[in-house]
Amino acid sequence: MAVESEGAVENNGVVRTAMGFGSIMNNSYGIGRMGIWRMDEMGGQATPLHRMDARIKILTVFIFIGFVMSFPRYEISALMPFFLFPLVLMGRAGIPPSYIFKKVLIASPFALAVGIFNPWLDPAPMIRVGGIFVSGGWLSFLSILIRFSLTVSVALTLLACTGIQRLCDGMGRMGVPQVLVVQLQLLYRYLFVVVEEGGRLGRGLALRAGPRSRITLRTYGALVGHLLLRSLDRAQRVYQAMASRGYTGETRMMHPPVLRRVDLLFLVGWVLFFGVARYWNLAGQMGRLLIGGGR
Amino acid sequence: MHMADALMSPAVGGVMWAISGGLLAWCSRQVRRLLNDRMIPMMGVLGAFIFAAQMINFSIPGTGSSGHLGGGLILAALLGPYAAFIVIASVLTVQALFFADGGLLALGCNIFNLGFFPAFVAYPLIYKPLVKSTQGGLRFWMGAIGAAVVGLQLGAFCVVLETTLSGISDLPFSTFVWMMLPIHLAIGVVEGVATGAVVLFVLKARPGLLGEPVDSATPPGGGRKVIIGLLAATLIVGGVVSWFASTHPDGLEWAMAKVKGKNTLESQAGMSEKLADIQATTAFLPDYGFKKSEPSQGESSSWPAPSAGTSVSGLVGGLLTLVLAVGAGWLLRAKGRSKTMES
Amino acid sequence: MSHHLIEARDVWFAYPQGADVLRGLSFRITHGEAVGLIGCNGAGKSTLLMHLNGFLTPRCGEIRIGDTPLTAQTVAAARRAVGVVFQDPDDQLFMPTVAEDVAFGPLNLGLPLDEVAQRVGAALERVGMTSVRERPPYKLSAGEKRAVAIATVLAMMPDILVMDEPTSSLDSRGRRRLIELLRGFEHTRIIATHDLELVVEICSRVLIMDEGRIVADGPARTILGDRELLHAHGLERPHSLSHAHAHTAE
Ligand SMILES: Nc1ncnc2c1ncn2[C@@H]1O[C@H](COP(=O)(O)OP(=O)(O)OP(=O)(O)O)[C@@H](O)[C@H]1O
Ligand SMILES: [Mg+2]
């Protein structure tokens, strides 16, 4: 979570090349413009899927992940039908699958880093494809890869087909404590502002220190400390703005009160599909039908 | 060190969600009870600050790598543990949603691993008593680095526990522990140093800001509760560790045993129902007969699922399903896309 | 009793561990006046404005809103009467969408939802920002942000509008629109600014601040035309008044 070597791919998709001041700018622009900004535009669309009650989507997504994770560790083919869910959501919400796919590729590789050991630790051959024996380790690693793509793409799709505001709103109505919901909203609201401020500070430093130099610890303390002080000052001003409009610690929200029958159908329909796909290996059946040898 | 959905079983994910959810609810109540209304915007902006701060790196001398702030400790020092926990949870949530760091079901784990230990263990038990009102010096750095290291070690240890209990990864517990803890020792030192540097700057620039967290009015018996909770956690963790230690004295041995054991174990359970398919499939795909290409190892039936047919049909079917899913998504895509915003 | 009246009586103030920033400052602004508050950097303008809705309390002296002194008991009422537009609209727009932001204040007043909706609509209409109502604030231009920030304050229906540097970071078109908007208000207005042309166009009266004191108080044209006075306090006569012919707006 805190150390990266040079050139490592950061989890927000920004490739760190040089470590100097220039990288500060690259990173802040990377996150602000490419990453979050684009996602924000996706989430802000107005397709029927976007406008659907966020609670339903959150619930369905969690059930989906639960089903995917419940498969035994060597499962591969039976997981395939589950790709239908994120793909249909992307289709209905007008999200280019290539966009989500790219984000999946650069998502945090922890699962892969851990999973890659499986082939070494579990070398006993398990199945044979053509003339090649495949060990259990490779199977379970492949399975981890597939689970990874499924869960990551569905998480990203949830946001892209809902938008952070509607998501927060839905969370609030699902009983997530209001303090947390407001916290999320405010964090998101000031993300851009503070990142820009950090970029400005970094550029200011870079102008004085030259682009080649590296950030020493002392400079780092000053830079981040400065950003912290500015953030605290801003928080103070935001508080004043809130207080001058009658804020006393409670935030009331205007909720659009809707839960339509279609929404429930969406939930029930998908959960049924997950159930069927979980207990019958749909892909396996289809393969058998095709290749023959079915029962 | 974000725990990932792909490595987890639903049971572990669910339990950790329940724990983190409970903690969040409790912290929200405490925040409402203890804090003044000034804190709400402060928490929000500080959450954004942590995000921005994580993008700024400093170079670690002599290593060619760089480090940055994790943020948990600084948040606890500024806001107190309850509010800090909520802010960390919100940062992790945004990361999970926007960058798919970890994943949604793993979010419960991540909130616990990365939030609980800095806010409720490292800060009150190590950072606060040591750092107190010092500005630099041995005590200060010991407090900052010690707290960061302990917080991260406990978090990393939990990652290992959660992964092992989920049973998707084959990494043996002890091997995994010996991989994770040294790495996170290094990360912890870096985090502690970064935290210390920022705190020192802030202390000099604006004295009195970090001294007293706004909610330092811990509820009566709060300290004792933390210690009791810690003892309980230690007992549980200790119990699990010793259990693992006794079952798997050595990581590599354990791995071997596991590999060997699987032959007999899995062939009976799990995939056994698929054995029924073998005959039909092999008959249909005669070129893939077992006997010819079989190495001298012995009979194919001693393997867990020696069904080439199943695997081939699984492969074909899987690919086909994927194509169908893509096709369905494409067919079902919305016609008029990207109207900017609903009105 | 009118709320449209605001008064400072011998106000002294110092930040913690600092020298006095406001040093015996007095004025009285009455119904419907538009007052420009000018003075060089660090004169104490922003500090004074923070007193007007009770975020800072004078070390001695008092602020009166309407006919009541501003105290801890009356601060809530004072904040309803005095609407402050902050210098950086990013500080003022903290909700996820423009509409929610404008609704924030009325909701806190405990108004019924339909009246909240009506106020939101009216306030956005007033500043010409109806078209951005569902947009998130970070996707607005500087001028739009400023206009929306004003709408958030208008939705509270204050009697007195207080603004800190309203034209900073606006381009000339945005500035022009803002001036037209401010001119149309019937509220009592107090505008702290370095934009003296803005003062010429909007304000009937000017206060000059220097080192925590009011050093001049009078009709805008008289004061802004007095080159010596302005020069003495680090200010320059606005271009539009430095010609023999007047080319004021309209
Ligand atoms: N939060 C603070 N703590 C301590 N001193 C402050 C603080 N804010 C302002 N000051 C000091 O008070 C004095 C007046 O500042 P103020 O911001 O009121 O001036 P101003 O007239 O608004 O200036 P400007 O035109 O630059 O906005 C300055 O000397 C400033 O350094
Ligand atoms: Mg000012």
> Residue A34 in contact with residue A13, Cβ under 8 Å?
yes
H-assigned helices in chain A:
21-29, 38-43, 48-51, 54-69, 84-93, 97-105, 110-115, 118-121, 136-160, 164-173, 178-209, 217-243, 261-279, 282-291
Q: Quick check: C94 contacting B, CB < 8 Å?
A: yes
Ligand nearest to the CA of C235: 1
pLDDT at B288: 29
CA distance B23 to A212: 45
C neighbour chains, 3+ CB pairs within 8 Å: A, B
Inspect the interface and report whether the beta carbons of A180 and B334 lie closer than 8 Å.
no
Q: Which residues pair with A5 in a beta bridge?
A: B65
Chain B environment of A249 (Cβ under 8 Å): 32, 36-37, 40
Distances in whole angstroms, Cα of residue B89 to Cα of each of A162, B43, B108, B116, C211: 20, 11, 9, 10, 46
Instruction: Pull the structure tokens for residue C125.
Output: 């209409």
Angle at which helices A217-243 and A178-209 cross, to 10°: 140
CA distance A235 to A222: 19
- Kindly indicate the confidence band of residue A252, based on its pLDDT and cuts at 50, 70 and 90: low
User: Do the domain assignments include residue A137?
Assistant: yes
Estimate to the nearest angstrom the gap between the alpha carbon of A135 and the chain centroid: 31
Closest alpha carbon within chain B to A29: B55
pLDDT at B318: 61
- Give the residue, by CA position, lying nearest to ligand 1 atom 25: C41
Ligand nearest to the CA of C47: 1
Residue whose CB lies within 8 A of the most ligand 1 atoms, among C46, C163, C190, C194, for a mutation test:
C46
Length of chain B: 343
Q: How far apart are the first and last CA of chain B?
A: 41
Query: How many Å lie between the alpha carbon of B257 and the closest alpha carbon of chain C?
Result: 56
Q: What confidence tens digit (pLDDT) does each residue in C29-42 have?
A: 988 899 999 999 98
> Residue B312 in contact with residue A129, Cβ under 8 Å?
yes
Report percent pLDDT > 70 for chain B: 57
pLDDT at A132: 73
CA distance B190 to B1: 15
What's chain A's average pLDDT? 77
CA distance B56 to A2: 11
Length of chain C: 250
> Residue A234 in contact with residue C86, Cβ under 8 Å?
no
Strands of C132-177 (E only): list them.
Answer: 160-164
φ, ψ of residue A270 in degrees (nearest 5)? -70, -40
The Å distance, Cα A16 to ligand 2 centre, comes to 39
Inspect the interface and report whether the beta carbons of A253 and C100 lie closer than 8 Å.
yes
Q: Is the pLDDT of residue A3 over 90?
A: no
Q: Which residues pair with A135 in a beta bridge?
A: A125
What's chain C's average pLDDT? 87
Number of domains in chain B: 1
Length of chain A: 295
- Kindly indicate the confidence band of residue B272, based on its pLDDT and cuts at 50, 70 and 90: very low
Q: Does C42 sit in the ligand 1 pocket, CB within 6 Å?
A: yes
> Residue A115 in contact with residue A145, Cβ under 8 Å?
yes
Q: Does C172 sit in the ligand 1 pocket, CB within 6 Å?
A: no
- Give the residue, by CA position, lying nearest to ligand 1 atom 8: C47
pTM listed for this prediction: 0.78
Q: Quick check: B86 contacting A, CB < 8 Å?
A: yes
CA distance C119 to A138: 63
Inspect the interface and report whether the beta carbons of B8 and A69 lie closer than 8 Å.
yes
User: Domain coordinates of chain C in residue numbers?
Assistant: 6-249
Instruction: Pull the structure tokens for residue A46.
Output: 């107005």
Question: Which residues does B29 contact at the CB level (< 8 Å), separation at least 6?
Answer: A177
Query: Left if phi > 0, otherwise alpha if psi is -120 to 50, otherwise beta: which for B62?
Result: left
CA distance A160 to C14: 50
User: What residue type is C31 in one-letter code?
Assistant: H
- Give the residue, by CA position, lying nearest to ligand 1 atom 4: C15
User: What residue type is A165 in one-letter code?
Assistant: Q
Inspect the interface and report whether the beta carbons of B310 and A126 lie closer than 8 Å.
no
> Residue B340 in contact with residue A94, Cβ under 8 Å?
no
In chain B, residues 140-179 whose CB comes closer than 8 Å to chain A: 152, 163, 167-172, 176
Q: What confidence tens digit (pLDDT) does each residue in B8-19 have?
A: 888 888 889 899
Strands of C150-234 (E only): list them.
Answer: 160-164, 188-192, 205-210, 213-219
Q: Which residue range is the domain that position B31 belongs to?
A: 5-342
Report angle CA A255, A260, A263 to the nearest 5 degrees. 105
Residue A112 DSSP one-character state: H
Q: Is the pLDDT of residue B116 over 90?
A: yes
Please, what sign has the CA dihedral across residues B181, B184, B190, B191?
negative
User: Do the domain assignments include residue A109?
Assistant: yes
φ, ψ of residue B28 in degrees (nearest 5)? -60, -45
Number of domains in chain A: 1
Ligand nearest to the CA of C163: 2
Instruction: Pull the structure tokens for residue C206.
Output: 């000017």
- Kindly indicate the confidence band of residue A257, based on its pLDDT and cuts at 50, 70 and 90: low
Strands of chain B (E only): list them.
Answer: 58-59, 65-67
C34-38 vs C60-65, strand pairing mode: unpaired
User: Do the domain assignments include residue A30?
Assistant: no
CA distance B148 to B189: 7
Q: Does C96 sit in the ligand 1 pocket, CB within 6 Å?
A: no
> Residue C72 in contact with residue C64, Cβ under 8 Å?
no
Q: Which of A35, A126, A227 sits opposite B304 (nearest CB)?
A: A126
Q: Does C47 sit in the ligand 1 pocket, CB within 6 Å?
A: yes
User: Do the domain assignments include residue A254?
Assistant: no
Q: Does C54 sit in the ligand 1 pocket, CB within 6 Å?
A: no
Q: Does C137 sit in the ligand 1 pocket, CB within 6 Å?
A: no
CA distance B135 to B133: 6
Query: How many Å lie between the alpha carbon of A73 and the closest alpha carbon of chain C?
Result: 42
Q: What confidence tens digit (pLDDT) does each residue in B273-327 have?
A: 333 333 333 333 333 223 333 333 333 333 333 344 445 555 566 666 666 666 6
> Residue C113 in contact with residue A254, Cβ under 8 Å?
yes
Q: Which residues pair with C203 in a beta bridge?
A: none
Inspect the interface and report whether the beta carbons of C134 and B343 lie closer than 8 Å.
yes
Q: What confidence tens digit (pLDDT) does each residue in A281-290 have?
A: 777 777 777 7
CA distance B208 to B217: 17
What is the dotted CATH code of the domain comprising C6-249?
Answer: 3.40.50.300
pLDDT at A172: 85
User: What residue type is B8 in one-letter code?
Assistant: M
Distances in whole angstroms, Cα of residue C48 to Cα of each of A147, A246, C78, C81, C168: 60, 21, 15, 17, 19
User: What residue type is C172 in one-letter code?
Assistant: S
Question: Which residues does C175 contact at the CB level (< 8 Å), separation at least 6?
Answer: C167, C195, C198
Q: What confidence tens digit (pLDDT) does each residue in A60-109 have?
A: 999 999 899 888 888 888 888 899 999 999 998 888 988 888 888 777 67
What's chain B's average pLDDT? 69
Inspect the interface and report whether the beta carbons of B341 and C135 lie closer than 8 Å.
yes
Q: Which residue range is the domain that position A54 belongs to?
A: 45-162+260-291
> Residue C188 in contact with residue C33, Cβ under 8 Å?
yes
Test the C interface: residue of B42, B341, B343 with most C CBs within 10 Å? B341
Inspect the interface and report whether the beta carbons of A189 and C108 lie closer than 8 Å.
no
Closest alpha carbon within chain C to B340: C135
Chain B environment of A23 (Cβ under 8 Å): 57
Question: Residue ranges of chain C with pLDDT lower than 50?
Answer: 1, 247, 249-250
Chain C environment of A253 (Cβ under 8 Å): 100, 107
Query: Left if phi > 0, otherwise alpha if psi is -120 to 50, otherwise beta: which for A293?
Result: left
Instruction: Pull the structure tokens for residue B270.
Output: 């799990």
pLDDT at A202: 78
Mean local confidence (pLDDT), A6-34: 36
> Residue A93 in contact with residue A50, Cβ under 8 Å?
yes
pLDDT at B88: 93
CA distance B1 to C123: 48
Q: Quick check: B342 contacting C, CB < 8 Å?
A: yes
Inspect the interface and report whether the beta carbons of C107 and A240 lie closer than 8 Å.
no
User: Do the domain assignments include residue A83?
Assistant: yes
Chain C environment of A44 (Cβ under 8 Å): 136
User: Do the domain assignments include residue A220?
Assistant: no
CA distance C140 to C153: 18
Estimate to the nearest angstrom the gap between the alpha carbon of C58 and the chain centroid: 19
Question: Which residues does C146 contact at the CB level (< 8 Å), separation at least 6?
Answer: C85, C89, C166, C170, C174, C178
Q: Does C15 sit in the ligand 1 pocket, CB within 6 Å?
A: yes
Containing B309, the helix (H) or strand (E) segment is helix B308-331
CATH number at residue B150: 1.10.1760.20
The Å distance, Cα C207 to ligand 2 centre, comes to 15
CA distance C241 to C33: 21
φ, ψ of residue B326 in degrees (nearest 5)? -60, -45
Q: Which residues pair with C37 in a beta bridge?
A: C192, C207
The Å distance, Cα C59 to ligand 2 centre, comes to 20
